[in-house]
């Protein structure tokens, strides 16, 4: 199959070839003819399958063939994305495919000043790529109007819903004409996405490229069982031993990402963090450094799990296992893109065993376990921990038995109050046992006899 056979015009084919594309991917083969026919589409595909080109190329071609270039530019195509990184990547692809079309695009997202975004909008754009939050703000300010939108794309719709953008999305949809072509793409298809699809799509064509519960076959997946305190040392060891030059490390939290970067620096390994607390400029600079090879290691939270397209990324580390199994697929999908092979390495602490089992159940694959030498005294099996707890418990109980009563109740003539019935018998036994021995009938006398402090004081 070739791009020419899909009905793509020569101007776009020229730019696609210039970008290094040789032949269309399966989702492009299925989606492009449908979208060129201006039908609604519901698509699900693994990350790194060429999904962006599948909707960008038809939109650009339809705009080019129907555009009146004598009129002022208006927003005719809107692409909604959950993250800034994904918006930036999509904009780059639109720019690349429209090299010979004279169609302009711009991005709108939060985390940066809106002044430049306003300036770009005033100059006129044909395609707007935006995150729901900032778009809603600019619409409320009267800066953006969506009354001329003819093509709408919801990309990574499941993540938008997970991030709580559903209200913003629905408010934005109210401002877009009903007479439009709508495309919804999602890596997963939960019930919430299917309900949203029914609301916004009209007789859609459904395309599914490989079940979303399966990971890319080209990715070699392995797992190392290692305690939390040894993870960074093992990471450094693997990076140096395998001479890694392009690495993406995922952590569960922003604090962990910063901590891992600092710990790597102590081992003379340079890495950069990327997460929500970093400014947009810092995040773009970190990504640019990794793509150019200036930085070899990027430590990221799941904000980077989707939408970041890094060519020839060799290794992806799951430093912390994700709590949602589907997130694992999106993380490792950063490698093995565009037909290239990649390696996904996971670290599993004993406390994360349940997460690993959930991931293996979700992907229906047993991940290969790799043995290593990073086992110290800190590493204890669950049985050893259990035995230690049991022994501690038994020792406490035995010690309680030895010193059942406090010190002031240990002198000889003390008897428990609830033993009144046996008091007569016990007194007889005591009298027999204490024949010829001086009795201690009070605590004061007991202290003087047994306590060294009183003995020294009396002398």
Distance CA 360, CA 368 (A): 10
pLDDT at 162: 76
CA distance 141 to 135: 10
pLDDT grade for 376, boundaries at 50, 70 and 90: very low
Query: What is residue 139's predicted lDDT score, i.e. its pLDDT?
Result: 94
51 close to 30: Cβ distance less than 8 angstroms:
no
More confident residue, 211 or 239: 239
Distance CA 273, CA 271 (A): 7
What is the distance between the alpha carbons of residues 336 and 234, in angstroms, rounded to a whole number?
23
pTM above 0.85, yes or no: no
Q: Are 295 and 286 in contact (CB under 8 A)?
A: yes
The Cα–Cα gap between 312 and 139 comes to: 39
Domains (ranges, CATH) in the chain?
Answer: 4-209 (3.40.50.300), 219-369 (3.40.50.300), 405-458 (no CATH)
Q: What is the pLDDT of residues 278-324, one digit of tens each?
A: 777 787 788 888 888 888 999 988 865 555 666 668 899 999 999 88
- Regarding predicted confidence, which is higher, 191 or 29? 29
Which 3 state secondary structure label does DSSP give 209?
A: strand
pLDDT band at 56 (very low <50, low <70, confident <90, very high): very high
Give which of 267, 225, 159 is closest to 371, Cα–Cα: 225
Distances (CA, A) of 89 to 52, 147, 284, 306, 349: 9, 25, 11, 11, 34
Helix (H, G, I), strand (E, B) or coil at 157: helix
- Mean of pLDDT over the chain: 81
Q: Average of pLDDT values for 1-19?
A: 92
Q: What pLDDT score does 47 carry?
A: 63
In this structure, what token pair is assigned to residue 320?
Answer: 């912390």
Give the pLDDT confidence of 164-197 residue by residue, as tens digits: 888 889 999 999 999 999 999 987 777 888 889 9
**pLDDT(425) > 70:** no
For residue 419, pLDDT beyond 50: no
């Amino acid at each position: 199959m070739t791009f020419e056979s899909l009905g793509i015009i020569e101007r776009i084919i020229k730019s696609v070839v210039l970008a290094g594309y040789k032949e269309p991917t399966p989702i492009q083969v299925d989606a492009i003819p449908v979208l060129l026919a201006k039908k609604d589409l519901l698509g699900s595909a693994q990350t790194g399958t060429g999904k962006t080109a599948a909707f960008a190329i038809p939109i650009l071609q339809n705009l080019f063939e129907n555009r009146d270039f004598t009129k002022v530019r208006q927003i005719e195509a809107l692409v909604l994305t959950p993250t800034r990184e994904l918006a930036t990547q999509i904009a780059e692809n639109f720019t690349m495919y429209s090299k010979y079309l004279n169609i302009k695009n711009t991005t709108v997202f939060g985390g940066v000043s809106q002044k430049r975004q306003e300036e770009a909008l005033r100059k006129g754009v044909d395609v707007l790529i935006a995150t729901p939050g900032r778009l809603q703000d600019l619409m409320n300010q009267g800066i953006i109007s969506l009354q001329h939108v003819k093509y709408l794309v919801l990309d990574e719709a499941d993540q938008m819903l997970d991030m709580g953008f559903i209200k913003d999305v629905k408010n934005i949809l109210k401002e877009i004409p009903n007479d439009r072509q709508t495309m919804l793409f999602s890596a997963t298809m939960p019930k919430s996405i299917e309900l949203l699809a029914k609301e916004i799509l009209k007789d859609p064509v459904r395309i599914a490229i490989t079940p979303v519960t399966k990971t890319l076959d080209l990715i070699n997946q392995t797992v190392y069982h290692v305690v939390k305190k040894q993870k960074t040392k093992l990471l450094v060891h693997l990076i140096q031993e395998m001479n890694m030059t392009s690495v993406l490390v995922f952590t569960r939290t922003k604090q962990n990402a910063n901590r891992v970067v600092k710990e790597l620096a102590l081992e003379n390994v340079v890495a950069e963090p990327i997460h929500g607390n970093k400014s947009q400029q810092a995040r773009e600079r970190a990504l640019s450094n990794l793509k150019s090879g200036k930085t070899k290691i990027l430590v990221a939270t799941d904000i980077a799990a989707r939408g970041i397209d890094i060519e020839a990324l060799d290794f992806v580390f799951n430093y912390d296992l994700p709590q949602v199994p589907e997130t694992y697929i999106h993380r490792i999908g950063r490698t093995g893109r565009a037909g290239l092979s990649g390696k996904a390495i996971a670290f599993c602490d004993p406390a994360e065993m349940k997460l690993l089992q959930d991931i293996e159940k979700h992907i229906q694959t047993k991940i290969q376990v790799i043995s290593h030498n990073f086992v110290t005294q800190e590493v204890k099996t669950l049985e050893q921990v259990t035995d230690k707890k049991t022994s501690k418990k038994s020792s406490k109980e035995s010690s309680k038995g030895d010193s059942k009563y406090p010190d002031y109740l240990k002198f000889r003539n003390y008897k428990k109050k609830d033993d009144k019935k046996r008091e007569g018998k016990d007194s007889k036994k005591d009298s027999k046992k204490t024949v010829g021995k001086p009795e201690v009938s009070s605590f004061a006398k007991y202290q003087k006899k047994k306590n060294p402090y009183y003995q020294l004081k009396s002398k």
